[in-house]
Amino acid sequence: MGHIALVLNASSGRGASDKVADRLREIFAAAGKDARITLARGGANLNAAMRREVAEGCETLVAGGGDGTINTGATAVLERGIPLGVLPLGTLNHFAKDLGIPLDLDEAAKVVIEGVICKVDVGEVNGRIFLNNSSLGVYPAIVRLREQNQASGSGKWIAALWAGLAVLRRNPFMAVRIVAEGETAVRRTPFVFVGNNEYRMVGLNPGARESVAAGHLSVYVLNADRRTGLLRLAWQVVLKGADEVKELDLLTVEEASIETRRRHLQVALDGEVVSLRSPLRYLMKPGALRVHVPGSALACYPHPPEASSTRS
């Protein structure tokens, strides 16, 4: 058996540090586990560190950071079938929450040591994966502007507010052509949201999923062509839920193609923005990722009798 590799994002929302690394080293040593810990800053350094650990034969790769960091870890292990451990050190931590992984550092580490390994679905678009969701339109534009505002010294939430207002002042609408299951739909919309399985789009926490193992993509398209209606529609989704808002279409599919007039599109994948060539070809990869989860986790595929455990 190889070592357990922990790669921590020192730039994450909650900030991995030498103190965090020392605490994790104590936890794994107390469980008799050979853990090798790397602190990395920046996407390129994270990716390089994770791929190096996989190439050197780690038994498990543990990614510590936000959803973007977890995505990087999943990309590194996906084709090798190596289990992924999750330490939620980001701001939102959607993937960890949907799998029932505790946000407390000690408890999350214990899931890697004492939990079970199950399989979850992975979404893919033009060869890039996403664990939570992918979107195009206003959200990627807001993320890019927020990053620029943060670089100039603004706080994260203030930067996000200003970015949102700036995007809405422009013309945030685009014409999209969606082809799925032999049907074609043309819409004028400010955004398209593609979820890895279905999101519970209601209430003050609309970003949660009941399952990451139902084997389908959920494509949400907002039918709106005027800025004045966007906030009203968003509020209706919060109050009533997506199913009750007639302007929000939901397609449940295994594959879909999305095309706009632009040759290249800014696309958000688990909160990180990349440039992809149109058309965007989305597909579902059922059960493609092995991940450490609590024994009580309900969001993934049922644990088979031979499900691996990392207990000594």
Q: Tell me, what's the pLDDT at 149?
A: 46
**Look-up of token digits 């800025």:** 227
- Give the tens place of pLDDT for each residue, 119-137: 999 999 999 999 999 989 8
Both tokens of 68, joined, read 């973007």
Distance CA(87)–CA(96), nearest Å, equals 8
Domain containing 187: what range? 129-285
Q: In 222-253, which positions are buried (b, 16+ CB within 10 angstroms) versus exposed (e)? A: bebeeeeebeebeebbeeeebeebeebbbbeb
**What CATH number is given to the structural domain containing 57?**
3.40.50.10330
Considering the domain architecture, whether residues 93 and 182 belong to the same structural domain is answered as: no
* pLDDT at residue 45 tops 70: yes
Considering the domain architecture, whether residues 60 and 144 belong to the same structural domain is answered as: no
Domain annotation covers residue 75: yes
* pLDDT at residue 31 tops 80: yes
Domain annotation covers residue 304: no
* Backbone CA torsion sign across 194, 132, 9, 72: negative
* pLDDT at residue 103 tops 60: yes
Using alpha carbons only, what angle is made at residue 238 by residues 248 and 249, rounded to the nearest 5 degrees?
A: 10
Considering the domain architecture, whether residues 76 and 136 belong to the same structural domain is answered as: no
pTM of the predicted structure, to 2 decimals: 0.84
Least confident piece of the model among 147-161, 180-194, 272-286 = 147-161
How high does pLDDT run on average in the chain? 82
- Give the tens place of pLDDT for each residue, 264-298: 999 999 989 999 999 999 999 999 999 999 987 77
- Pairing mode, if any, of strands 272-277 and 280-293? unpaired
Domain annotation covers residue 301: no
Mean predicted confidence (pLDDT) in 182-197: 90
pLDDT band at 54 (very low <50, low <70, confident <90, very high): very high
